Structure 1
Amino acid sequence: MKKSLQKNILWSIFACFVAIIFLAPLYIAFTNSFKTPKGIFTNVIGIPSKDVFTLGNYVQAFKDLEFFHSFMNSFLITTSSTLLIVIFASMAAWMLVRSKTKLSKFLFFLFAIAMLIPFQAVMLPLINLMGKLHLLNPVGIVLMYLGFGSSLSIIMYHGFIKNIPVELEEAATIDGCNKLQIFWLIVFPLLKPITVTISILNAMWIWNDFLLPQLVINKPGWQTLPLKMFYFFGEYSKQWNLALAGLVLAMIPIIIFYLFAQKHIVKGITQGSIK
């Protein structure tokens, strides 16, 4: 009993240590977003005192980011890409599970292999191809996100769909449902836990992505929040106070989205891993 108590105490201490490591960057970003530049360079870790505390960073960052316009760009690109990934990945995974052929196994293996290819390896040829197709615009970047996000999503859906009894689909077929009706009326509603998980993972990735938007839509009027925040960092000076305030503003929407849907993440991944 004593050894068990000591073990629990050690694990609790270790968990607290890990939590501090993960939360430290958030603490530094949040506290320094309320400081003047002098306050940041004087004491990075400390809580802002009265002489360095200011709310002006958020007001200035809100204006410089053109927050509403940049927010809508990020929102439209993120929601469109996530929605397309969910639709196409779920349908593809369903067909791969139900089609017991060598081709379906090969395609699933191909999607798994695609996850190992880094974006940097195909970055320049992809941008060159999309430029020739005149798709270096918001529509083009949504299609690119669909391509890059589908592999992991299909694999996650694939594991989850295996748990759905095929008898439900056979009964729907007897009742006269076609393939689309079977999927949208019978199968897709059962995929809610994993769909929420996939939506969160893809939304967080796309919302925070910088490199692909930098290459594809780095033009006035199309820029997302991560792109707009980049301009707080000049060649010779960095406006850390404004950059951190802008970072906090950009994190708020995705944090709210995560908090509302977090209970489905572990449930979706756990159920999808059980065959």
Structure 2
Amino acid sequence: MARGSKVGGTKRRIKDAVGFLVIIALFLLYMIPFLMVLINSFKQKRDIIKNPFSLITEKGFTFDNYIKAFEKMQFVKAFGNSLFITGLSTLLVILLASMVAFYFTRAKNTFSKVLFALMAASMIIPFQAIMIPLVSIYGSGLNILNHRLTLVFMHTGFAMSMSVFIYQGFIKSGIPVSLEEAAYLDGCTKVQTFFKVVFPLLKPTTATLVILNVLAFWNDYLLPSLVLGKKELYTLPLSTYSFYGTYSSDYGVIMAALALTVAPILVLYLFLQRQIIDGVVAGAVKS
């Protein structure tokens, strides 16, 4: 009995070791493009073309690419635009989506069911299918393009469906009605019950949606390129396009600009990673 158990344990350890090695290999394969961008951002253009896989060039690392990228892309202004658009859009999505999801979950009427079904169905409509009519209406019809608030409004609208869908599932399975009934007995109104009882319990889901929406808004290129035509309104992804020439491009500066663009998102993720994991686990475990 002990011998069979030992053999089984050895096989299990070998299986776990092989699985771990496969995961490491897949991780490295996935991370290679990001590592190449980071490494080549410290090289000159000729060194990148000559040997893009080399870790150290003859002249060593240089920070000139980051200096050029910071100045040419007007990093401070572009960062401010991205921060304003992303921050305000995310705040509106979190606030409105949580309230709408709470209403859809607790309201037992046909109106809420139909609206929730329509909102969920809208997630299958690709943005590319409506971008031309959208720009036509907001541009020639309403003449409100080239405004950051217009982009905030669009971002909020496009992100509402997924956010409401996720919030609704968590509220339905993770927040008992008895808590709200106790708040009502204590004299709370529905608004007070939502903000003092329900919304604090949505913290893990909120953190997950914050990082998902921030990633989507911060890295978006297509929609801002359609809405923002003035250079002083460019976000960070749009400002990196200025390094691409018609016949040649400075790859070192481009990769430095990409690294500067991604860095704030990485910092945000490091601060919210615990809440994100808690949100994923909470959504996976059913009571």
TM-score interval, normalised by the smaller of the two chains: over 0.9
Alignment of 1:1-275 (within 5 A): 1-51=9-59, 53-131=61-139, 132-136=141-145, 137-162=147-172, 163-275=174-286
Q: Distance in 1 between matches of 2:169 and 2:279?
A: 10
Task: Give the aligned residue type for 1:139.
Answer: L
**Helix, strand or coil at the partner of 1:83:** helix
Tell me how far 1:52 sits from its aligned partner. Answer: 5.4
Q: Distance in 2 between matches of 1:114 and 1:79?
A: 24
Once the two structures are superposed, residues 170-221 of structure 1 have per-residue CA deviations (whole angstroms, 9 ceiling, x without a partner) of: 1222222222111111111111111111001100111011000000013121
**Helix, strand or coil at the partner of 2:57:** coil
Tell me how far 1:223 sits from its aligned partner. Answer: 0.4
Q: Distance in 2 between matches of 1:158 and 1:191?
A: 11
Tell me how far 1:101 sits from its aligned partner. Answer: 2.2
Tell me how far 1:273 sits from its aligned partner. Answer: 4.0
Once the two structures are superposed, residues 71-126 of structure 1 have per-residue CA deviations (whole angstroms, 9 ceiling, x without a partner) of: 00000000000000001100000000001223322222222211111100110111
Q: Distance in 2 between matches of 1:183 and 1:257?
A: 27
TM-score (norm 2): 0.93
**Helix, strand or coil at the partner of 1:236:** coil
Q: Distance in 1 between matches of 2:138 and 2:284?
A: 36
Once the two structures are superposed, residues 206-262 of structure 1 have per-residue CA deviations (whole angstroms, 9 ceiling, x without a partner) of: 101100000001312100010010111111111111100000011111100011101
Aligned alpha-carbon RMSD (Å): 1.2
Once the two structures are superposed, residues 116-171 of structure 1 have per-residue CA deviations (whole angstroms, 9 ceiling, x without a partner) of: 11100110111112222233111111010011111111111111111111111112
Structure 1 residue ranges without an equivalent (≥5): none
Q: Distance in 2 between matches of 1:38 and 1:48?
A: 13
**Helix, strand or coil at the partner of 1:141:** helix
Equivalenced residue count is 275
Tell me how far 1:48 sits from its aligned partner. Answer: 2.6
* 4+ long deviations beyond 3 Å: none
Structure 2 residue ranges without an equivalent (≥5): 1-8
